[in-house]
Amino acid sequence: MTSRRIKNGFVLLVFTVMLMACSSSDDTPANDNTKSQIETNLKSSTWVITKYIDSGVDELYHYTGYEFTFGDNNVLTATNGTNTISGTWNISNSSSSSSSSNDLDFNIFFSSPPDFEELTDDWDILTQTSTKIELIDVSGGSGETDYLTFERN
């Protein structure tokens, strides 16, 4: 009976050590992988905005005809064949405690023109696939919600 207790105790100890090792060290790499996967996906093609709702108002028409390129060195370019607008982009961790894409900020910055300045924000990622990324921003002061969707061109 004593050897059975020792054996059960050893199995429990090994299981506990394995569980602790997995749960504490897997959080950051999974988040980094998701971030890296999203960045690689965005840089692999051009994208178009298929939805832009600003505080309940559909303002997609401002971006119709523009293709967006998420380039190296965080360069973001929007072009419609006539106009080229340059900005920046990056994806950053908004929380170091979770590995989901919901804890990543999708940062966009355009300094002009005014329609593109509206896209400047630290968006939260709602969903992302290889062909679509849906973003949301809830305004801190007023609580109004904006929605932005990019789809692979």
pLDDT tens-place string over residues 22-73: 444 344 444 566 999 999 999 999 999 999 999 999 999 999 999 999 999 9
Q: What average pLDDT score do residues 67-82 get? A: 97
Task: Please determine, for residue 100, whether its predicted confidence score (pLDDT) is greater than 90.
Answer: no
Residue 12 CA to residue 18 CA, distance in Å, equals 10
pLDDT for 94: 74
Q: Which of 10-19, 123-132, 143-152 has the lowest mean pLDDT?
A: 10-19
- Helix axis angle, 27-43 relative to 2-25, nearest 10°? 30
Q: Give the start-to-end residue ranges of the domains of the chain.
A: 28-152
pLDDT for 96: 47
Give the CATH number of domain 28-152.
2.40.128
**Closest among 63, 88, 86, 87 to 151, alpha carbons compared:** 63
What global pTM score does this model have? 0.75
- What average pLDDT does the structure give for the chain? 82
52 to 19, 88, 103, 125: CA distances (angstroms):
43, 18, 21, 14
Q: What is the CA radius of gyration of the chain?
A: 22
Q: What is the three-class DSSP state of 88?
A: strand
